[in-house]
Amino acid sequence: MSKEAIKTRIAELSKDIEAHNYNYYVLDKPTVSDYDFDMMLEELIKLEKEHPEFALLDSPTQRVGGQITKEFKSVKHKYPMLSLSNSYSTEDMEDFDRRVREGLGLSNDLFGGAVDYVCELKFDGLSIGLTYINGQLQQAVTRGDGVQGDDVTTNAKTIRSIPLKLKGHYPNEFEIRGEIFLPRRAFDQINKEREEIGETPLANPRNAASGTMKMQDSKVVAKRKLDCFLYFLLGEQVPHQKHSENLEAAKSWGFKVSEHTKVCHGINEVLKYIEHWDKARHQLPYDIDGIVIKVNDYKQQQHLGFTAKSPRWAIAYKFKAEQVSTQLEKITYQVGRTGAITPVANLKPVLLAGTTVKRASLHNADIIEKLDVREGDFVFVEKGGEIIPKIIGVDLTKRPEHLAKTKYITHCPECNTELIRHEGEALHYCPNENGCPPQVKGKMEHFVSRKAMNIDSLGGETIEQLYEAGLLRNIADIYDLKKEQLLPLERMAEKSAQNLIAGIEKSKEVPFERVLFAIGIRHVGETTAKKIARKVKNIDTLSSLNKEQLAEIDEVGETIADSILDFFSNNDNKIIIERLKQSGLQFEINVEDVQPGSDKLKDLTIVISGVFSKHSRDEYKDMIERNGGKNSGSISKKTSFVLAGDNMGPEKLKKAESLGVKILNEDDFLEMLK
C-alpha cells in the first residue's frame, strides 16, 4: 500500500469509527457489530503505529488511552463555574419562582406572568467544562473551586460519549459544560471485579467517577466506561437566545444531551416534573440526586444576574435521602483477604428505608478523621444510592464531653503486625499475608471458590475447622490432606471425608487460566487472568517477565504488573507454586483452549439464564467464547438470543419478550454448534 493510500485509509477509518462511536454511545443505535468495530480499531491502531506521521490529532485511538499524566495542571476557568442554590421543598421552589418573576417585573400572582423554565436531571457525578475550537476538543477542566480546576483532557478523551470532533454548523470557539458519571451497571461490574480480587468495593458511583478522572493512567480510565451528559453552552457565538434551543443545537453537533430535559411553562409544571422524577429516578440506569431548574430565555437570565456565589436564574431541587440518627456503640476493624483494613461502625439497631441497620462501613482512616466520629457518638445514617448504609455526620449536640477522639489502629487486630499504607492509597494494609489468619483463610476461600478451583465440598466453615486443627496453613496444604486426617474431626463422617478428597482430586483438572485466578495475585481478576494465561501460556514464562513485558499484555497496566512482580518476588509464594505443581495442578495452558472452536457464533451477543442439565453455565459460556460469541449478563436490544434453561428469571423472560429477543433451549443451542 502506498503512503498516500495509507494516509487515506487512516482518515477513512478515523471517520467511520467516530461515526460508530456516536451511533453506539450517544444515540444508542449501533450500526456495526462489536467484532467489526474492534477489527476496524485494531487496523487503525496498527496503521498509526507504523505511520505516526499520518495519525490525526482527533484520532479515535485516543479513546483507548495509554498516556500517563504525572501531574494535573491547574487551569483558570474562562467563565467561573458557580454552584447552584439548593432547595428542598415546594415552598422553596415557589419562593424561587416568585423572586424570578419579581426580578423580571412580572405579575406576583402565582398563576399569572408565568416564566418558561428548563428542567434537567441533576446527575450525580463530576462537573466538567469542555472547550472546543474549530470543532475539535481542546481542553477538559474539572470544577475545582469554581475559579480554577484541573486539566483532565487526556482522560476525558477516553469517554466515548464526548466528541473529539464536531459535526454540522457550530461556533468557532465555545465551552460546553456537563457531568461525567459512572452508570450503575459499570459501577457494579467494577465492584464485582474488585471483590473477586479481594479489593474493598468502591463506595458509590459519584466518588468512583471523580476518582477515575484523576487517575494517572488513561488506559485504566478508558476501561472504567465513564459516560457524560452535556447541559450548558457558553461563549460569545452561541447560536440561539434560549437555553433549550442551544441544547438541541449541541445535540446536532454530536453531544449527548439527556432525553429527559423538558421546557416547563410556569412553576406548576416544574413541580409536576419534580414529583414525577422523585419516584421515577430509581428506574434510571444512573444516579441523580435532584432536578436543576433554569430560566430558559438568555435575556431574562442576563437581567436577573448573579449573587456572589450563584446565578439568580437557576436553582437545584435536591431529593431527600431517608436519614436516621442512632448511636455508634463501637468501631471494629475487619481484615480482608488482601490484608486491607476496613473500619466498621457497629450501631444501635435502627430502621432505615424498610430494613434494620446494625452496621455501616467507615471506609478508611481519612473518613473517620473528616467526620471526627467517636465511639458513643450519635450519628446520622442514610442509604447511599438507596442501598448501602453510610454515616454522613455526627450530632454534636448530643456528644458527651468525655468522648475520646478516635485513634486509628496501628497494628493488625488479628496478628498484631504493624500496618502499612501505600502512597496514594486510602486503605491501611496488614503486610503479613502468609501469617495473618483472616488473610490466610480468605486466600483459601478464594482458591476453592466456584470460579477458581471449584472445590465445593471445601467451604468457609470447613476451612475454618481445618485451620484450627492445624491441617491447613496455605493453599498448597489442601493437596496434602488425607482422609485419615479428616475422619477424627467433628461433623466429618466417612462419606463427607471421601467427597472432600474427591473434590480436591477433581480440581487438578481445572485449566491454567482459572488456577492463575485462584492463586490470588492482587488485582488479577477472572478476566485478566484469562487474558494473561492465553498470552504467556505457562506460569514459568509469567514469572520471568519484566515490568515492560507485563504491561504489554492486554488488561495489564502498571499497577497489575507491579502486583505480579511482587507476588513472584516473595519466596513463600514461590514455594507454594512449586508444591502446587508437584500436586499436579495445571500451570500450562492447553493449546486447544486458545483456539476458537469455530466462528458459528461470530458477532452474536448471548445471555444465559436458568438451570441446565447437559452442561454447566460456565461450560456454556466457554462454548460461546470458543465459537466466536460474546457473553452478556443483561438483555438489551443488542442481545442476539437468550440461552434459557429451567427456571429462567421472570424479569429476564419479560424483558426478552418485550424486546422480541429469541429464546433458545439447550438442545437448540447444541444443535446450532454441530
φ, ψ for residue 337, nearest 5 deg = -60, -30
3-state secondary structure of 130: strand
Q: Catalogue the active-site residues.
A: 122
Given a contact cutoff of 8 angstroms between Cβ atoms, the answer to whether 310 and 82 are in contact is yes
Given a contact cutoff of 8 angstroms between Cβ atoms, the answer to whether 429 and 200 are in contact is no
Instruction: Compute the distance between CA of residue 634 and CA of residue 637 in angstroms, rounded to an integer.
Output: 10
- Amino acid at site 268: N
Given a contact cutoff of 8 angstroms between Cβ atoms, the answer to whether 607 and 635 are in contact is yes
* Residue whose C-alpha cell is 449527548: 256
Nearest one of 352, 389, 395, 397 to 371, comparing CA atoms? 395
Q: Which three cell numbers stand for residue 643?
A: 440461552
CA angle in degrees (0–180, nearest 5) for 587-591-596: 125
- Amino acid at site 662: K
Count the helix, strand and coil residues of the chain and give each as a percent rounded to the nearest 5. Answer: 40, 20, 40
Task: Look up residue 538 and give its DSSP letter.
Answer: B
CA angle in degrees (0–180, nearest 5) for 350-353-358: 30
Count of alpha carbons within 13 angstroms of residue 232, beta-carbon side: 21
Instruction: Compute the distance between CA of residue 24 and CA of residue 13 in angstroms, rounded to an integer.
Output: 16
Instruction: Compute the distance between CA of residue 180 and CA of residue 158 in angstroms, rounded to an integer.
Output: 12
DSSP codes of every residue in 555-622: T--HHHHHHHHHHHH-HHHHHHHHHHHHTT---B--HHHHS-S-STTTT-EEEEESB-SSS-HHHHHH
Instruction: Compute the distance between CA of residue 281 and CA of residue 320 in angstroms, rounded to an integer.
Output: 12
Given a contact cutoff of 8 angstroms between Cβ atoms, the answer to whether 194 and 381 are in contact is no
CA 2 to chain centre: 43
User: Residue 404 belongs to what H/E stretch?
Assistant: none
Count of alpha carbons within 13 angstroms of residue 162, beta-carbon side: 33
Helices 526-536/184-196 angle, 10° precision: 70
Count of alpha carbons within 13 angstroms of residue 422, beta-carbon side: 11
What residues have CB less than 8 Å from 370, skipping those under 6 apart? none
φ, ψ for residue 359, nearest 5 deg = -140, 150
User: Checking DSSP bridges between strand 641-644 and strand 605-609, what pairing results, if any?
Assistant: parallel
Q: How far is CA 145 from CA 312, 388, 471, in A?
A: 19, 29, 58
- The strand order across the sheet containing 86-87 reads 86-87, 314-318, 288-295, 116-123, 262-265
State the distance between the two ends of the chain, measured CA to CA, in whole angstroms: 40
Buried b (16+ CB within 10 A) or exposed e, 61-76: bbbbbeeebeebeebe
Instruction: Give 346's strand partners.
Output: 330, 359
Task: Look up residue 116 and give its DSSP letter.
Answer: E
